[in-house]
Structure 1
Amino acid sequence: MAAKAPREYTDPSVYDSHAKDFQSKALPSGQAEWIERASQVAQIFAQDAPKRDIENKSPAAEVSLLKASGLLKVLGPKEYGGGGEAWDTGYKVIREVAKGDGSLGMLLGYHLLWSTTANVVGTEDQARSVQKVITEQNLFIGGAVNPRDSDLKITSDGDEIVFNGFKNFNTGGVVSDLTVLEGVLEGTEDHIFTFVNTRQDGMQFAHNWDSIGLRLTESGSVRITNIRVPWTDALGWDSATKRPLPHILSIPFATLLLPTIQLVFSNFYAGIALGALDAAAAYTTQHTRAWPFGGDNKDRPTDEFYILERYGAWHAHLLAAAALLDRAGAQVAAVYREGGQHGSSLLSDVINGSTPAGATREAITAARRGELAALVVSGKVVSTDVALEVTAGIFEALGARATGKKYGFDRFWRDVRTHTLHDPVAYKRRELGRWKLLGEAAEATWYT
């Protein structure tokens, strides 16, 4: 791996006034207040998003503002200083931030997903410990978990496990506080997840993220060399027997990270498209000129039939996509509740909350998991299609001058196009076809 010199980091001081304003206020309370906080952050990011996209600096300032805003804590347990919200709120917050900057919506989404890891594949004690550290210290989480690469190799050495290997993608890693590692224990087919400090010699970033879109996500490659972790930090494993705990890892609940993150993707796709439509509408009303050679000439672009028709269609399709994503988000939250959890926090820890009768991990059956996955996949198909259509199509209603780099309208399409290649949507459509025609739920995989 040929490492490049680190890119220049953005300066957190540029957001000092906004950070101080957020820090002077209490955390939001309730879904509406969290969405409003996310909207405020999105508006700040939107002001200079085209400029930051061109500069392509490492997003230290942007992550710092996410921390100051409290958004990293939206799912965290209240007793540790978090928002105590469930995933239905988390998804809407991700979508809102993505309206202002797709890269930051993606980073927030991945952070919330990785923050959930211990709750899904760890013991209750591990989940409490991880949530306490992440929430109280307001840490930002990255993840070196790319299933298309070879698994990291894990060896056992006394009371420790040792990670070695390479990952092509590690979203947010360069600017993260903690990194989720995942690999296979040598001599077995058993996977282990754990959290490690990002800033250590064994974490060697290549600083090679240079794709056409999502340029501020720092999703470049990383080499892991002799990173040592106590066996007690192996999530869902018995540190005495050095074996996975079947009641944790051998049930459908342990696979929930996959539909959870797939819906993260869909929400920042939709958020990017909604942001594109808002930005395009503002430009059209202020700068676009009516076409004078159509035979039915109008004085204003907002009287042009084709412009009105395009905006009407885009608006309708995005509203429909958002409604589907909200329905799926409500079901994700419901499944976590049925499994005895609430967002990223243990349900029993939620102040004034109560555990539904029979709410345990074992309550989530393969059929329930399959039903959820089908709904999530539906959202993935629709959000992918509409986001690509809107972000490419807005130029039809803007005019040639809007292609100027200073406006940055191309960033919306580049962001969506980049991440929608993460896993082929054609396979999602096939999964839904089998679900509809044959009643077959998709097999739980690293991408389903």
Structure 2
Amino acid sequence: MTFIEKNKSFPAPRNDLVRATRPQAVAPYPQDWVDAAQKLAYEFAEGAIQRDLDGARPVEQIRRLRESGLVSLLYPKNLGGGGGSLRDAAQSVLEIAKVDGSTAALLGFNYYNSLVPLLTDYTGANDDVVRHAANNRFFWGNVTQYVNKEFVAEHHADGGFTITGTKKWNTGAPLAEITTVLAIHPDRDHYIYAVIPTAREGLEFHNDWDPIGLRGTDSGTITFHNVRILPEDVLHWGHSPAQTGPLPLWASFGAIFYTAVFIGRTLGALEHARKWVLQGRRQGSFGGVSISADDPFIQAEFAEYWVQVQAAQVYFERTIAFVQEQWDRRSSLTEKDYGAIALETLSLRTFAARTALHITPRVFELLGGRSTAREADFDQYWRDVRTLSSHDPEVLARRVIGKHVLHQDPLVFPPHFKQDKVG
């Protein structure tokens, strides 16, 4: 059965680019997710430099991710998903990040936004959304930032809501058929979470994403013009009377996938550099060597970077195991548990970002002047890391970590709304 035959009731994609991401054939879920990701990374490596230089959207790459089933890896098998683990997902992002930062970041954002129906409620109340997404192997967009306090829904006479307003940094949404939407409830005392098709009437995509790195992630601005949110679009919230603060575990999962991109980009830079120094000799190399890889100073410098990224990978694995253990017992997690998970993942993300920001620009120390040619594109790794890490400044993360580690007090998420409502 083809994708279109499965999906007769879903609206047509909003443009030809989104249509082109639809699977042409649906492969069975792989037995080994990381192996499948490595094979796709091999495919994606072809043309990756040119896509980066052109700022091209990875349309073909998203189609292949959907066909392979990687986009639905984290969904339970009983809901039609791949039944993979958090490690499977994180390592898949890391493998693709070695060769294609934009596609890897999009996959990572897909993972933690596709989990929103399972994060908002642990009892199965949103299972139909998951089944529909898994059945169609949707790639998910993200309209989920908490920063816009003017993005407020209004009641609709026939039920549900309408939304008018603008949100920036909507990663993946322009290439997705389905996206999360976070808005402030009309009473202005809690949030609502919804899932809508990106072809919904009233959505205006500005196509204004033009950063130095992750140029294909398409995190542009979207304006909502009286966009209808149907009652069935609104996700059930099962944690408390209403969502007055951040979604449990959403940022923690996000930190893991950010880290996967940071480490993958760093490993990619080192592998690119390794091949480069094996091919010739840079000016100023140690006397008597025929290739730069035999220069003892380059060897020592490369070793320093390699050791640092090994440490990041071990930290990554340890944190993934911890978070998976917590996720498996999610119905019994307390606010203190959520805080401990957040502190651990924030620390990981901070360490990985700092490691990547140290190594990715310094690979030029190994390479020589020829490596600065545009077509070599050695700066792609630093540009991607710098762009992603800038979304969450390290100094703020370190302040949170330091405060709680010094005082040994739990990290508690305060409500975003006052008890007497926000006017």
TM-score range, shorter chain: 0.7 to 0.9
Q: 1:314 aligns with which of 292, 305, 312?
A: 305
Amino acid at match of 2:405: K
Aligned 8 A contact 1:270 1:383 in 2:
yes
CA RMSD of aligned residues (A): 2.7
Give the structure 2 partner of residue 367 of structure 1: 336
Q: Which amino acid aligns with 1:262?
A: A
Secondary structure, counterpart of 2:60 in structure 1? helix
Change (3 A) 1:276 1:208: same
TM-score by length of 2: 0.88
Question: 2: distance between equivalents of 1:180 and 1:258?
Answer: 15
Matches within 5 A, 1:189-228: 189-228=189-228
Structure 2 Cα separation of the partners of residues 370 and 235 of structure 1: 24
Which deviates more from structure 2 when the two are superposed, residues 182-191 or residues 433-442? 433-442
Counterpart-to-counterpart distance in 1, 2:90 and 2:180? 21
Cα distance in 2 for partners of 1:268, 1:232 equals 34
Q: Which amino acid aligns with 1:26?
A: P
State how far apart, in whole Å, the 2-side matches of 1:444 and 1:267 are: 25
Contact 1:114–1:141 at 8 Å: present in 2 too?
Answer: yes
Indicate how the Cα distance of structure 1 residues 220 and 284 shifts in structure 2: closer, same or farther if over 3 A, else same.
same
1:247 deviates by 6.2
| Structure 1 residues 165-197: Cα deviation after superposition (integer angstroms, max 9, x where no partner) | 101111111110101111111222210111000
Q: Measure, in 1, the Cα distance between the counterparts of 2:299 and 2:326.
A: 41
Distance 1:94 1:411 in 2: 17
Look up the match of 1:256.
Answer: 249
1:236 maps to: 236
Residue 263 of structure 2 contacts residue 313 of structure 2 at CA under 8 Å; is this kept in 1? yes
The corresponding residue for 1:349 is: none
Q: Using structure 1 for the length normalisation, give the TM-score.
A: 0.83
**Matched residue, 1:63:** 62
CA distance in 2, matches of 1:281, 1:12: 36
State the match for 2:95 in structure 1: 96
- Report the CA distance between 1:98 and its aligned residue: 1.0
1:325 aligns with 2:316: yes
- 1-side partners of 2:333 and 2:341: how far apart? 10
- What is the alpha-carbon distance in structure 2 between the residues aligned to residue 445 and residue 58 of structure 1? 38
Q: Secondary structure at the match of 1:129?
A: helix
**Displacement of 1:234:** 2.1
Per-residue deviation, 1:316: 0.9
Deviation of 1:229 after TM superposition, in Å, equals: 2.0
Other structure's SS at 1:224 match:
strand
Tell me, yes or no, if the aligned pair for 1:153 and 1:163 is still in contact at 8 Å: yes
Distance 1:129 1:420 in 2: 34
Say which SS state the counterpart of residue 98 (structure 2) adopts: helix
Query: How far off is 1:230 after superposition?
Result: 2.5
Secondary structure of 1:186's counterpart equals coil
Moved more, 66-75 or 131-140: 66-75
Equivalent residue, structure 2, for 1:357: none
Q: Aligned-pair distance for 1:7? A: 12
> 1:388–1:324: structure 2 CA closer, same or farther, 3 Å change rule?
same
Instruction: Letter of the 2:376 partner, please give it.
Output: Y
Distance 2:191 2:343 in 1: 25
Residues 1:282 and 2:275 aligned together = yes
CA offsets per residue over residues 49-95 of structure 1, 9 Å max, x none?
11011222233222111112221021122134421012222111111
Could you report, residue by residue, the CA deviation over 1:285-335 in whole angstroms, capped at 9, with x for unpaired residues?
12343635x5x5433312212210121111111111011111111122111
Partner of 1:100: helix, strand, or coil?
A: coil
Q: 1:35 corresponds to which letter in structure 2?
A: V
Say if 1:270 and 1:321, in contact at 8 Å, map to a contact too: yes
Task: Give secondary structure in 2 for the equivalent of 1:194.
Answer: strand
1:180 aligns with 2:180: yes
8 Å CA contact 1:8–1:57 kept in 2: the answer is no
Q: What is the match of residue 422 of structure 1?
A: 391
Give the conservation status (yes or no) of the 8 Å contact 1:7–1:58.
Answer: no
Q: Distance in 2 between matches of 1:297 and 1:385?
A: 36
Deviation at 1:434, TM superposition (A): 1.9
Q: How far apart, in 1, do the equivalents of 2:83 and 2:16 lie?
A: 35
User: How far is the alpha carbon of 1:426 from its aligned partner?
Assistant: 1.0
Amino acid at match of 1:182: L
For residues 415 and 323 of structure 2, the distance between their equivalents in structure 1, rounded to whole angstroms, comes to 17
Structure 1: distance between partners of 2:197 and 2:16: 22
- Alpha-carbon deviation of 1:232? 3.9
In structure 1, the residue matched to 2:144 is 145
Q: Aligned AA for 2:289?
A: K
Provide the C-alpha distance between the structure 2 equivalents of 1:82 and 1:61, rounded to a whole number of angstroms.
Answer: 22
CA contact (8 A) 2:336 2:411 kept: no
Match of 1:41 in 2: 40
Paired residue for 2:6? Answer: none
Q: Answer whether contact 2:245 2:414 (CA < 8 A) is retained.
A: no
Instruction: Give the alignment of 1:372-391 within 5 angstroms.
Output: 372-391=341-360
* Structure 1 CA distance for aligned equivalents of residues 127 and 242 of structure 2: 15
Structure 2, unaligned stretches of length 5 or more? 1-13, 417-423
In structure 2, the partner of 1:53 is: 52
* Percentage of identical aligned residues: 26
The 8 Å contact of residues 107 and 172 in structure 1, kept in 2 or not, is answered as yes
**Higher relative contact order at CA 8 Å, sep ≥6: structure 1 or structure 2?**
1
Which of 217, 222, 240 is the aligned partner of 1:246? 240
One-letter identity of the residue aligned with 1:246 = S
The count of corresponding residues between Structure 1 and Structure 2 is 402
CA gap 1:43/1:10 in 2 versus in 1, 3 angstroms:
farther
Match of 2:29?
27
2:29–2:69: 8 Å Cα contact kept in structure 1?
yes
- Check the 8 A contact 1:10/1:58 in 2, yes or no: no
